[in-house]
């Protein structure tokens, strides 16, 4: 990382942030790349840009709703049945697996 110029590092942080936000399910491993930019004590401006990019990524990809455990009791269930016995669509199951 030390051989890269300041402008190149800033541009790389922006590109990585955009990639993660556009496809978070497939590009979540790029978070490590952003974290490596946060470790450079010489370029404080790059560290600040990387931290800002991480905050934007987390704010974008973290859902705004509460994520329940699969077996957690729902407030709308009246007869006390557990959520494990419920059947979900493929899309809902994939979303729960991702979360």
Residue 41 lies inside a defined structural domain of this protein: yes
pTM for the whole structure: 0.63
pLDDT of residue 54: 93
Residue 50 lies inside a defined structural domain of this protein: yes
**What is the C-alpha to C-alpha distance for residues 46 and 54, in angstroms, rounded to an integer?**
12
Query: What total number of domains does the chain contain?
Result: 1
Check if the beta carbon of residue 83 is closer than 8 Å to that of residue 68: yes
Question: Above 70 in pLDDT, residue 99?
Answer: no
Q: Among all chains, which residue has been given the structure tokens 């496809």?
A: 23
Report the chain's C-alpha Rg in angstroms.
19
Question: What percent of the chain has pLDDT above 90?
Answer: 29
Element (H, E) at 34: helix 31-37
Calculate the average pLDDT of the chain.
79
pLDDT in tens, 48-95: 999 999 999 988 888 766 666 666 655 555 455 455 566 777 777 777
Residue 54 lies inside a defined structural domain of this protein: yes
More confident residue, 75 or 24: 24
Residue 49 lies inside a defined structural domain of this protein: yes
| Residue ranges making up the domain that contains 34 | 6-61
């Amino acid at each position: 990382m030390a051989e890269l110029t300041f402008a190149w590092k800033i541009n790389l942080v922006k590109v990585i942030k955009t990639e993660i936000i556009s496809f978070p399910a497939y590009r979540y491993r790029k978070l490590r790349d952003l974290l490596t930019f946060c470790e450079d004590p010489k370029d404080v401006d790059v560290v600040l840009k990387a931290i800002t990019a991480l905050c934007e990524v987390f704010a974008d990809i973290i859902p705004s709703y509460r994520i329940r455990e699969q077996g957690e009791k729902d407030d709308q269930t009246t007869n006390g049945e557990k959520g494990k016995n419920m059947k979900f669509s493929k899309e809902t199951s994939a979303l729960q697996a991702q979360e």
